[in-house]
């Protein structure tokens, strides 16, 4: 075959490949996500291994996964998109090897890796070899974790060992109606529980929104692509953090009288989301895990253009799930050198035997460790109550807070004032002519004298007591100082 014939053959093969891509659901997902005409494939001609044990299938070019790189808003990213039309998106040896190679290239380039998953799991025809290839893939994914952003997006079924791939991401998105993420599928569970359930009932998007595994749930594929692009805007290329801080469009010195109003009505309860919106750059707050442990608000925002993690609790006791949610954001910020701000108003950790039996102490320990070992700048603002373990794990100097600010409405104590007064002043209360009135007086004494932010500031545990309306400029100033 001469050169002319080889070029003709190449043109035919290329046209065939382009035709297959045009019909590919995976390619459509890539195109919806990337800048126009930016996708470049890697290992497009790799074929599936047909030397398995027991089943005969024709080899498929690409082996059911598209891998390559492209740009999002001009920014380099690496991707893998599974094609459910090829062997159900199942993972064979070469399928796994393609993804592994792409992760390694992303790590070497210092660029995010995005996995678009829809798979029935390990390809049974390739048996143990395929399972070992998935193990190798997970090993490389784990090595990249904490070095580059890993974003997982689940569009349909993600079953068996493959569920570990999606779960290994820093951020996990799920399509609301079709996505499911299960270690064991409906057939296995039905055999054990004698109960026929759909994949969505076992591990669908709404299930994992409430379990905390899904960071975002999106109504359709177009929203999935839009959200991935938005999330990338809040993450740097590597663990070194953002090389440059964006210039903020909001006034860094903006004071918000609405925060003074909130502080004045703190005893009646406030909308913590509104509080956060008044502090951060306008329109910049991106909530994470919104359906999980809703008593704690968690997300990423900007303060004078600087990406910052936000944890905010207003009046809720800390449950084990809330502690776990706080650990998730603390670890994410730590991995990518993102500062973390905590707005704290909590009477402490959950009460009751059920809370204890659900691992409350362990969850609290994990939260303290995550806070203490975090290398990112950490700021705490005590807006209301900060009692016992809530203060200990989220706002104490010992937990690693670089700067602790307090509103005048703060109460900071090892115990709630009513409990502490009953212990400390029980003799005085018992001897009083009106014990009930005496008890209330001692509770007020403890709250205003011993648990006051001024008492904590006198001990050096609070760095400054600030007017609530000045929270935004004070935080921005502190972050600038810590950056220096």
Q: Helices (DSSP H) in 281-434: which residue ranges?
A: 320-335, 353-357, 360-373, 388-394, 417-424, 426-431
343 φ/ψ angles, rounded to the nearest 5 degrees = -110, 110
344 φ/ψ angles, rounded to the nearest 5 degrees = -115, 130
Q: Which residues of the chain have pLDDT under 50?
A: none
pLDDT for 53: 54
For residue 166, what are the CA distances in angstroms to 124, 272, 478?
Answer: 20, 31, 36
Structure tokens of 370? 């995550």
pLDDT for 16: 66
**Domains of the chain (ranges plus CATH)?**
3-232 (3.90.226.10), 257-410+452-483 (3.90.226.10)
pLDDT for 126: 85
Dihedral angle over CA of 302, 307, 308, 314, nearest 10: 30
pLDDT for 243: 67
pLDDT for 422: 76
Which of 104, 97, 44 lies closest to 78 in space, CA to CA? 104
pLDDT for 241: 87
pTM score of the predicted model = 0.91
Structure tokens of 363? 């969850």
Q: Would you give the distance in Å from CA 315 to the centre of its chain?
A: 23
pLDDT for 18: 66
């Amino acid at each position: 075959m001469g050169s002319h014939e080889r070029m003709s053959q190449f043109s035919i093969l290329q046209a065939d490949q382009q035709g297959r891509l045009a019909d590919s659901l995976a390619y459509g997902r890539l195109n919806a996500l990337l800048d126009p005409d930016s996708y470049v494939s890697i290992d497009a001609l790799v074929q599936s291994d047909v030397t398995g044990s027991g089943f005969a299938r024709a080899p498929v070019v690409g082996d059911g996964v598209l891998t390559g790189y492209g740009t999002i808003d001009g920014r380099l990213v690496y991707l893998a998109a599974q094609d459910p039309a090829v062997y159900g998106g199942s993972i064979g040896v070469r399928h796994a090897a393609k993804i592994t190679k792409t992760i390694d290239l992303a790590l070497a380039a210092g660029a995010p890796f995005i996995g678009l998953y829809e798979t029935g799991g390990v390809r049974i025809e390739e048996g143990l070899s395929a399972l070992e290839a998935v193990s190798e893939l997970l090993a490389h994914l784990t090595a990249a974790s904490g070095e580059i952003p890993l974003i997982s997006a689940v569009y349909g079924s993600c079953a068996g060992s493959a569920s570990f791939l999606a779960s290994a991401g820093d951020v996990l998105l799920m399509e609301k109606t079709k996505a499911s993420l299960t270690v064991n599928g409906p057939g296995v569970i039905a055999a054990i529980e004698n109960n026929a359930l759909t994949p969505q009932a076992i591990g669908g998007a709404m299930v994992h929104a409430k379990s905390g595994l899904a960071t975002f749930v999106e109504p359709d594929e177009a929203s999935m692509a839009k959200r991935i692009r938005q999330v990338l805007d809040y993450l740097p290329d590597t663990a070194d953090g953002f090389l440059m801080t964006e210039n903020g469009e909001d006034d860094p010195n903006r004071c918000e009288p609405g925060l003074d109003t909130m502080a004045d009505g703190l005893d009646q309860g406030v909308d913590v989301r509104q509080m956060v919106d008044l502090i951060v750059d306008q329109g910049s707050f991106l909530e994470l895990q919104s359906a999980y442990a809703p008593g704690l608000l968690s997300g990423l925002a900007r303060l004078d253009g600087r990406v910052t993690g936000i944890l905010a609790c207003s009046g809720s006791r800390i449950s084990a799930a809330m502690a776990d949610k706080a650990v998730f954001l603390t670890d994410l910020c730590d991995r990518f050198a993102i500062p973390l701000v905590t707005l704290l108003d909590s009477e402490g950790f959950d009460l009751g035997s059920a809370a204890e039996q659900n691992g409350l102490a362990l969850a609290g320990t994990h939260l303290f460790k995550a806070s203490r070992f975090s290398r990112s700048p950490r700021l705490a603002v005590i807006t209301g109550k900060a009692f016992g373990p809530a203060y200990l794990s989220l706002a104490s100097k010992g937990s690693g807070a670089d700067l602790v600010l307090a509103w005048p409405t703060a109460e900071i104590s090892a115990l709630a004032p009513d409990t502490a007064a009953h212990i400390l002043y029980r003799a005085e209360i018992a001897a009083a002519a009106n014990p009930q009135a005496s008890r209330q007086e001692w509770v007020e004494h403890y709250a205003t004298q011993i648990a006051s932010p001024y008492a904590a500031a006198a001990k050096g545990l609070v760095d400054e007591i600030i007017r609530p309306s000045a929270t935004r400029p004070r935080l921005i100033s502190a972050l600038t100082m810590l950056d220096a």
